[in-house]
Structure 1
């Protein structure tokens, strides 16, 4: 692939966006990202994904030059729909996805990061949705995901002013989990990934499904599905191993069965 690199370390796959200078999310980049997810989803040895950007940025957003092409071709829905579909896939991906954000995550870059399950940032990173400066609104579900993390008032403020927040502010606002010095970011992401990778793949996948269901506010449906998931996992080999390891006071060894 030209713009996406996948590096495997133990049970973690690191997806790196490499399209200098700003790692703009052109359609070709989104296509390659989808292909990378295909590879990882089908690899049972990979249990966690880290998504990062090469160079100075995580991603500074969509490729604005492509907007001109879409306008001239009358293909107004192509940009938004393709991005929304891919980011929905990231959010529901059956393996945990951690965004490691440095430099800037703006526009589509932040929308991609918000689709990930966990966001780690550098303290001086810039996170924002500046689409209103173009007379537009975010098209990759930014207006829908941002309020989940920062609340309605802060979402309106970020959208209407187009002003980014720092990594440190993003943690305070609930937009990111942790902020680190730049040299600590990837090591901390890998450390977190390693902790998660030790868990049962069946259980981590179940958590993704249940938490995503909770976002829909279908509480009773969520309770029912949670109960069903608990029963399924309790009867699995991983469930048996986890309980046995606890009783025997040792680390469990999960196989995803």
Structure 2
């Protein structure tokens, strides 16, 4: 029998659910994949209901240093629950951490999708012409990708360098006027964590090309990694035409 696992990270929820059937006994309200996932919900990633987590009697909770609060992790550990905290800032780290998580969750072998994803990203050849971008992840206030982010590494491998990649903050707050003045080739607008849409986001950047992209393919490290280069690449190329 696999261990009883509660996931506090949507991408890890998907990875565990498709790789170790029966292991997942709880997930956050934001865990939308795989479709039809039917497990008890324990609240949000930033505000999980710890009493619900403990009531599920997990053998293991999987979390992430960026998505989950240290205080919640420590409270679970003090209650006697093992918590595996991932740190993912780039593609190679994602593959390493996914292997570690799935091993801890009782995967009998390395899943095929993980091998496929690693092969795709290892052999990926970005376009010869590199583009610049600003990548908002929040509005009111405007926040963008900064240094050492998984999403930034994903875009870089697809030929897009975001303007604030050397900023001292990982998710700096930048005034809209400054974002416009940076005059990037592209403004990349994901649909999570802030849900940018055709009506909500592009209007703030008149005269600049905007690419509306899947936040799951940009920020999740899990089975979506097999599709991300194609899905994101198509969206980026269409915006740059």
TM-score > 0.5, shorter chain as reference: no
- Give the shorter-chain TM-score range: under 0.3
TM-score (norm 1): 0.25
TM-score (norm 2): 0.26
